[in-house]
Amino acid sequence: MARIVVVGSGFAGVEAVRRLTGLGLCERGECVWVTSRPSMVFLPLVPALVSRRYRPEDVEWSVEAYAGRLGVSLVAKRATAVEEGRIRLEDGETIDFDYAVIAAGARPAFYGVPGAEELSLTVYGAEEAWRLGGMIEEGRIQSMVVVGAGFVGVEVAAEALWLARRLGRELRVTLVDMLQEPLQLLGNEKASRLARRLLEEMGAGFRMGQPVTRVYEGGVELKDGSRVEGDVVIWSAGLRGPGIEAPREALARGGFLRVDEYLRVPGLGGRVYAAGDATEFRRGQCVALKMAREALRSAARAVNNIAARMQGAGEKPYHPLITSYRPLAGITLGPEEGILVLGKRLALRSNLAHWYHERVRRLYQELLAGKP
């Protein structure tokens, strides 16, 4: 009887458990699901909580009933370390395994910038986004600095501006980034230009090309010594790994888990796989982007590879779909605007992402919480 442990209950963790049970591996063996928070947060709709388009209960569902229905044991604890054949938990307990899938996601990275962690909001969970919307609704803030003009930063800025406009409240939003353009990491100039234009039309300001060197109560300081003031600072400047200890060769820069082409984590005896945002999947200069679709696909591949090994068959390599060479993203800028990024050359003004997010959200709601 093989014991398979899955760590994390985001897109990748839920997909891993769903597929393990679908393949009958939890019936023939034992599946243990470890997660620091026994719920799934539909992160793509978290920015939409700011503008009250959704409520927290629309985008976060407990996974307890689902685990029960599947006959998977749920352990609601944080994993602190992974070793060969063993996971360590926050309370010192350990769980031995034959195979593991680490799908513990990513966390905001603060890069040691003084004040960033203590004095800013990250909007990486439902509560924070809801709280930010509340501050705007109650008129407690009139200005906001968004550090990091990647897709999370631009989405949060747009939702906040839309809410303020709807309520007739004054809100000055300034996006700050060390890069020159919003969405620059996607490498699609049209998308960057479009995002900037749409956000400026909504009333956003930009301070680009200067890294933030300090966050203080009431704003941020830039490398050139200038300041951008804001009643609240939103930090969306980057990600780091899940903070699970592992041997040195298992960890890439930023604490992400390194994976080989089969999604196995090196240095852990070959039976530990990783999927989703927790990983760094790199082939030369090309990296898989940290997107929901990648989390689902990599989790499915990791589980299929475990199943193949258990049957004595060959594993298949993982081929990411959304990469730094081929960015594909649907970005929503409030309820009325959006941008579709299709590769490095094509970007369209489109509301397709709104429709798609809602469709996928309903599928998860049905899967985890039953029919609404």
Ligand X SMILES: Cc1cc2nc3c(=O)[nH]c(=O)nc-3n(C[C@H](O)[C@H](O)[C@H](O)COP(=O)(O)OP(=O)(O)OC[C@H]3O[C@@H](n4cnc5c(N)ncnc54)[C@H](O)[C@@H]3O)c2cc1C
Q: Which residues contact ligand X by CB under 6 A?
A: 7-13, 34-37, 43-44, 46-47, 78-79, 103-105, 123-124, 152, 242, 244, 276-278, 290-293, 295
CB closer to ligand X, 21 vs 35: 35
CA distance 320 to 304: 15
CB 159 within 8 A of CB 47: yes
CB closer to ligand X, 101 vs 307: 101
CA distance 372 to 359: 13
DSSP labels, 167-202: HT---EEEEEESSSSTTGGGT-HHHHHHHHHHHHHH
Distance between terminal CA atoms of the chain? 37
Residue 254 CB, nearest distance to ligand X (Å)? Answer: 14
Residue 14 CB, nearest distance to ligand X (Å)? Answer: 7
Tell me the angle at which helices 352-369 and 11-22 cross, rounded to the nearest 10 degrees. Answer: 50
Positive or negative, the CA dihedral 256, 258, 261, 265 is: negative
Residue 309 CB, nearest distance to ligand X (Å)? Answer: 22
What are the phi and psi torsion angles at 354 (to 5°)?
-60, -50
CB closer to ligand X, 228 vs 289: 289
Residue 79 CB, nearest distance to ligand X (Å)? Answer: 4
Which residue's CB atom is positioned nearest to ligand X?
10
Residue 61 CB, nearest distance to ligand X (Å)? Answer: 11
CB closer to ligand X, 124 vs 206: 124
CB closer to ligand X, 222 vs 251: 251
CB closer to ligand X, 222 vs 331: 331
CA distance 302 to 274: 7
Residue 226 CB, nearest distance to ligand X (Å)? Answer: 28
